[in-house]
Structure 1
Amino acid sequence: MQGSSISPSVLTTTASNATRGLLLGLAGVVMFALSLPMTRLAGGSVEAPQLNPAFVAFGRAVVAGLLSVAYLAVTGARRPRGGEWRLLAFTAGGVVFGWPLLSGLAVRHVDAVHAAVISGVLPLATAVIAALALRQRPSPAFWACAVAGLALVVGFAAWRGAGGLEMADGLLLGAVVCASAGYVSGARLTGGMTAEQVICWVLVISLPVTVPVAVMTRPTAPVAASAWGGFAYVSLFSMWIGFFAWYRGLALGGTLRVSQVQVLQPFLSMLFAVPLLGERLDAMTLVFAAAVLAVVWFGKRQPVDTRSAP
């Protein structure tokens, strides 16, 4: 019987790439999981405010944008062309402006543990928007998971709000929609440029807006050193380095396989919030978080017909 035509060295390389991809993907998820606690640390709460949420949102984009200018220059990346500019602008609206600003405003009013549960439906929301934007046909089980995920986070928000929804919950859901839409439009750009170049160009074209807003909202009174630490983290890791690790992990290990680790993000966010912010975890919050994780994981495994609907 003829042996396999794939050499052992190729198999070893493939397995090594898969492992590296998973590790890089996990590293990206860990960096993103710290985003909500660090945003809360930077902006403070209503009772003890620190940096203006607008400064945190736009200032971090300025820092990452300047780093992106250097990266694009050093790597000799080509300039976007044609319709890519429109997709870059749409992506910026979601991941540079929408998510950071809305989530930053929200975590001034609710703790990071609360925000982590609500934002836990982000992977499923991204899949829903992708299906709608690309006119795909997910299975009924997929749509059932999407509805169940929304019902869970709304139920959790109502429970935490003593029977009603708070403004912060609406801001968080809006942030999820913005981020999901930005991820989908950004993914459409990766056919013509690398994922790292996409996020860099998104940040660079945002500088004409982010720089003046950051200057206008800069702090005029002293703030805690911990707030600046939180700001530095979301600028360097949440807005820049995390995307490099995440996208490289997807490329090496495969999108379907590596993206599954993203379901761990809300749990990691909650765990980080305990030592960083002194927040507490209760049993019911963990139950809701586990239910959201299960629905997202199951939903991402449902078949989607990638042919465009008529």
Structure 2
Amino acid sequence: MTAQDSATRPTTIAVGTPGTPGTPGTPGTPVTVPSTGHDSTRTGILLAAAGVTAFSLTFPATAWGLDGFGPWSLVSVRMALAGLIAGGCLLALRIKPPAREHWVSLAVVAAGVVIGFPLLTTLALQTSTTSHAAVVVGLLPLTTAALSALRTGVRPSRTFWTAACLGAAAVIAFTVQQSGGALTSADLYLFGALLICAAGYTEGGRLARVMPGWHVIGWALVACLPLALPASAVALSYEPWELTAKAVTGLLWVAVGSQFVGLVVWYRGMAAIGIPKASQLQLAQPLLTLVWSVSLLGESMTAAAPLTAVAVLICIAVTQRARG
């Protein structure tokens, strides 16, 4: 969906939940807004690209955070900071709490997106490289699409399922090859993160049909504050920590950049240019993470990593066309 060329003609946009602290969005509530032509489209592309860039830095920033924090401390403090920021924004804008019937779905979103995915990927990155994790988690859009089809009762075409299975096979083959023929504990954490995050995004996509997408994430973060604040205190008291420059930078990025600001600019960009165009931009996220892994962390990678990432992106593009 794109903005109309006329500056006065209204256009309908959809606000939804993106597929990953890096995947393609799912449709949300139609909202009628005035179009501003090519300037609006250009601004929307820049905002969506900024969101994708923020998400692509999540794994390198997590690796930096682990330089001075334990995994439980990093996740709980990240969750607490993001929750406080989200709560402050919701309060400042006087956003009313969701209806009672939506809180169960928000709990699923919180369990998958706010708690489960950050925790499992952080645990994985203790022993896995960020480039390896980026390729595995590149499967998240396909996992989300499959769970969404099961959850909503939609029956995608055979082309969709064929592409999804090929993408999954490529990632599994890469993982087994990189792990020397057997899955490691990091791989199990990453595959678990895929499933639980896909469930959170699927439920968030359903909620985004009745409320703006950033409200879904915002209230999910706020709902986690009663857990995040005491968990932060306990984790910091039991795990050794040190406020190194890398650790603080990594923590601030995953809390502010990835989990909140990145989502805000992503939703605004997606609203301006539509979900299909925004999703095409997000296809570059795994490859961007590979670039950051080499340039910021000095990691080396085999040719299998970018080749597998490209193969998965092609499969995702096919599934999007098949769904459309």
2:40 to 13, 17, 25: 17
The answer to whether the Cα contact below 8 Å between 2:56 and 2:289 also exists between their aligned partners in 1 is yes
Is 1:125 matched with 2:125?
no
CA distance in 1, matches of 2:196, 2:66: 20
Aligned pairs for 1:213-224 within 5 A? 213-218=231-236, 219-224=239-244
- How far the C-alpha of 1:283 sits from its partner, in A, is 1.8
CA distance in 2, matches of 1:60, 1:222: 15
Partner of 1:271: 291
Could you list the runs of 4 or more consecutive aligned residues of structure 1 that deviate by over 4 angstroms after TM superposition?
none
C-alpha RMSD of the superposition: 1.7
- How far the C-alpha of 1:215 sits from its partner, in A, is 1.1
The answer to whether the Cα contact below 8 Å between 1:123 and 1:262 also exists between their aligned partners in 2 is no
Partner of 1:232: 252
- Larger relative helix fraction: 1
- How far the C-alpha of 1:223 sits from its partner, in A, is 4.8
The answer to whether the Cα contact below 8 Å between 1:124 and 1:300 also exists between their aligned partners in 2 is no
1:52 to 62, 65, 70: 70
- How far the C-alpha of 1:121 sits from its partner, in A, is 1.1
TM-score by length of 1: 0.90
Partner of 1:47: none
Is 1:302 matched with 2:300?
no
The answer to whether the Cα contact below 8 Å between 2:290 and 2:306 also exists between their aligned partners in 1 is no
Partner of 1:96: 114
> Secondary structure, in 3 states, of the residue corresponding to 2:36?
helix
TM-score by length of 2: 0.86
CA distance in 1, matches of 2:76, 2:104: 20
Over 3 Å counting, the alpha-carbon distance change for 1:100 and 1:221 in structure 2 is: closer
- How far the C-alpha of 1:197 sits from its partner, in A, is 1.6
Partner of 2:168: 150
Structure 2 counterpart of 1:255, one-letter code: I
> Secondary structure, in 3 states, of the residue corresponding to 2:55?
helix
CA distance in 2, matches of 1:207, 1:108: 25
Partner of 1:30: 53
Where do 5+ consecutive residues of structure 1 fail to align? 1-5, 45-49, 305-310
Structure 2 counterpart of 1:303, one-letter code: R
The answer to whether the Cα contact below 8 Å between 1:142 and 1:303 also exists between their aligned partners in 2 is yes
- How far the C-alpha of 1:8 sits from its partner, in A, is 4.2
- How far the C-alpha of 1:212 sits from its partner, in A, is 1.2
Partner of 2:264: 244
Bigger shift: 10-19 or 149-158? 10-19
Aligned pairs for 1:162-181 within 5 A? 162-181=180-199
Is 1:192 matched with 2:210?
yes
The answer to whether the Cα contact below 8 Å between 1:106 and 1:172 also exists between their aligned partners in 2 is yes
Partner of 1:308: none
Q: Number of residue pairs matched?
A: 294
Q: What is the identity percentage for the equivalent residue pairs of Structure 1 and Structure 2?
A: 35
Is 1:138 matched with 2:156?
yes
CA distance in 2, matches of 1:224, 1:78: 39
- How far the C-alpha of 1:237 sits from its partner, in A, is 0.6
Is 1:74 matched with 2:72?
no
- How far the C-alpha of 1:193 sits from its partner, in A, is 2.2
- How far the C-alpha of 1:282 sits from its partner, in A, is 2.5
Structure 2 counterpart of 1:241, one-letter code: V
Residues 11-57 of structure 1: CA deviation (Å, up to 9, x unaligned): 7724333332222111111000000111111114xxxxx31111111
